Amino acid sequence: MIQVEGLTKYYGNFKAIDSISFHADAGEIVGFLGPNGAGKTTTMRILAGYMPPSEGQASIAGFDVFEQSLEVRRRVGYLPETVPLYKELTVWQYVDYMASLRGMRGPERADRVDEVLEMVDMLDRADSLIASLSKGMRQRVGLAQALVHSPDVLILDEPTIGLDPRQVREVRELIRDLGQDRTVLLSTHILSEVNQLCSRILIINNGQIVAEDSPETLAARLEGATRFFVRVGNASPEEVAEALRDLETVTDVYPTDQGVEVTSGRDNDARPAVAAVIVNRSWDLLELRPLQMSLEDIFLRLTTDEDEMEFQQEEVA
Ligand SMILES: Nc1ncnc2c1ncn2[C@@H]1O[C@H](COP(=O)(O)OP(=O)(O)OP(=O)(O)O)[C@@H](O)[C@H]1O
Ligand SMILES: [Mg+2]
């Protein structure tokens, strides 16, 4: 449904996105995750047909996003990062106007405007001037206009930002429902959001996709043998930590109440060496199990420079 190949965008001399490729199918909710300035909004604006790429190609339902932007806009609902609302219109007038721009006509259009306002819980504010709305309400009106023409593809740039907790939950449920037979690409900084909603995550950093996977496999891939927990019967966690600290394959040890958390290099399983130390000292090995890495850890690991990582770890320690 969404097909992106070698997409690159320069702002002047600055390369904001660098040869990005990915695809998203119908019935898939794909999460775009990345720090500030990673290039999420840039990519999404290009996909929504609002700006041409410098290089590369993107198509939606087979239509080129720039060459055939009219066809694309009919099929795409786009929630921009900052929703450009017409402040002198009422909520109802604005959504109705957006529907007319997407080629909707007749009584169906009016019914549909009511319907989407109901979906985002804004029907009771239909006659309010946009200028008088709170930030979260504007976000919800932005969502309503993205949905009004029942698009097959939804591109949502941080859809839950600024919403209160109840609305966050409702909007997520709405997105989940919509994602069952549509294609949804959403960007967010909220890791639990991608975890809850997305079947696939694209992690973008400095304009490049640095990882692409399901939330589960991404966690598994990064976690692998890299972090595990060791508990022995007849030595204190501090003693064990001390003994493991200097092993070549061990990059970090951290004694806890019960045992020791050990980190090893990604391709450098430290478990055999750790087990050998424990046997040599005649300690009783009670537990040796991999630790799940949270998406938070993964995100930081994939998007943070090594130097910064060390700095952060020092700060924590
Ligand atoms: N109109 C513009 N002119 C020049 N540079 C821009 C413009 N828009 C974005 N950039 C730059 O391109 C890079 C990517 O920006 P973009 O808005 O796509 O990031 P983002 O991933 O959406 O970040 P955020 O999480 O803060 O929304 C940034 O370095 C930004 O400063
Ligand atoms: Mg952005």
Is residue 314 over pLDDT 70? no
Give the end of a domain, one of 213, 240, 268. 213
Same domain, yes or no: 156 and 69: yes
Same domain, yes or no: 152 and 48: yes
What is the average pLDDT across 71-99? 91
CA distance 80 to 117: 18
Tell the residue nearest (CA) to atom 27 of ligand 1: 36
Parent domain of 185:
2-213
20: Cβ below 6 Å to ligand 1? no
What is the average pLDDT across 84-88? 83
Same domain, yes or no: 145 and 33: yes
Same domain, yes or no: 203 and 99: yes
Same domain, yes or no: 32 and 163: yes
- Say what the pLDDT of residue 225 is: 47
CATH code of 137's domain? 3.40.50.300
Is residue 316 over pLDDT 80? no
Same domain, yes or no: 159 and 142: yes
Same domain, yes or no: 190 and 279: no
42: Cβ below 6 Å to ligand 1? yes
Tell the residue nearest (CA) to atom 3 of ligand 1: 11
Give the end of a domain, one of 162, 189, 213. 213
pLDDT band, residue 230 (cuts 50/70/90): very high
The protein residues having their C-beta less than 5 angstroms from ligand 2 (an ion) are: 40-41, 81
Counting residues of the chain whose pLDDT is more than 90, the rounded percentage is: 57
Is residue 168 over pLDDT 70? yes
38 CA closest ligand 1 atom index: 21
- Say what the pLDDT of residue 295 is: 63
39: Cβ below 6 Å to ligand 1? yes
Domain count, the chain: 2
Q: What's the whole-number average pLDDT of the chain?
A: 88
pLDDT band, residue 163 (cuts 50/70/90): confident
Same domain, yes or no: 253 and 133: no
CATH code of 251's domain? 3.30.70.100
Same domain, yes or no: 99 and 27: yes
Give the end of a domain, one of 152, 180, 213. 213
Report the range of poorest mean pLDDT among 91-100, 127-136, 286-295. 286-295
Same domain, yes or no: 183 and 245: no
CA distance 168 to 174: 10
38: Cβ below 6 Å to ligand 1? yes
Tell the residue nearest (CA) to atom 1 of ligand 1: 11
Same domain, yes or no: 143 and 240: no
Q: What is the pLDDT of residues 3-17, one digit of tens each?
A: 999 999 999 999 999
Same domain, yes or no: 117 and 230: no
Is residue 310 over pLDDT 70? no
34: Cβ below 6 Å to ligand 1? yes
pLDDT band, residue 193 (cuts 50/70/90): confident
List C-alpha distances in Å: 23 to 17, 28, 60.
16, 10, 10
Q: Which ligand is nearest to the CA of 45?
A: 1
